[in-house]
Amino acid sequence: MEAGHNMIGSLQYTPEEMAVIDGVIGGIYSRMADSKLQKSYWILHEHLQSGVVNQIDLQRIESALAFTDPGGCTTCSKEGYRELTSLRLKTQAMLRIM
């Protein structure tokens, strides 16, 4: 499988995970005034919508999930915390494989 697909080895994002990632990143990037960052988000958003992500996308996803810091979220549910942490660990594993 090519490195540009959402499947890397046996790891891949589910459609639900891609929707969560898209929502998290959309929430972060939409508040940024920097047009370069907004353009980066739209490219990533398009890749998530098509189901194809590359190494740069994974790095941006990991950074966004780290920025949200689910461990520091006092209003997150346990399920939300686990979901974000799981996504971050999965993204890190996918980056290591690449």
Dihedral pair phi/psi, residue 48, rounded to 5°: -65, -40
Domain boundaries, the chain: 7-97
How much is the pLDDT for 31?
Answer: 76
Q: How many CB atoms are closer than 10 A to CB 11?
A: 13
Q: pLDDT tens-digit profile of 35-87?
A: 888 888 889 999 988 888 899 999 999 988 888 765 555 566 778 788 888 99
pLDDT at 6 over 60: no
Q: Determine how many CB atoms are found less than 10 A away from the CB of residue 10.
A: 7
Q: Which of 10, 13, 1, 20 is nearest to 58 (CA)?
A: 13
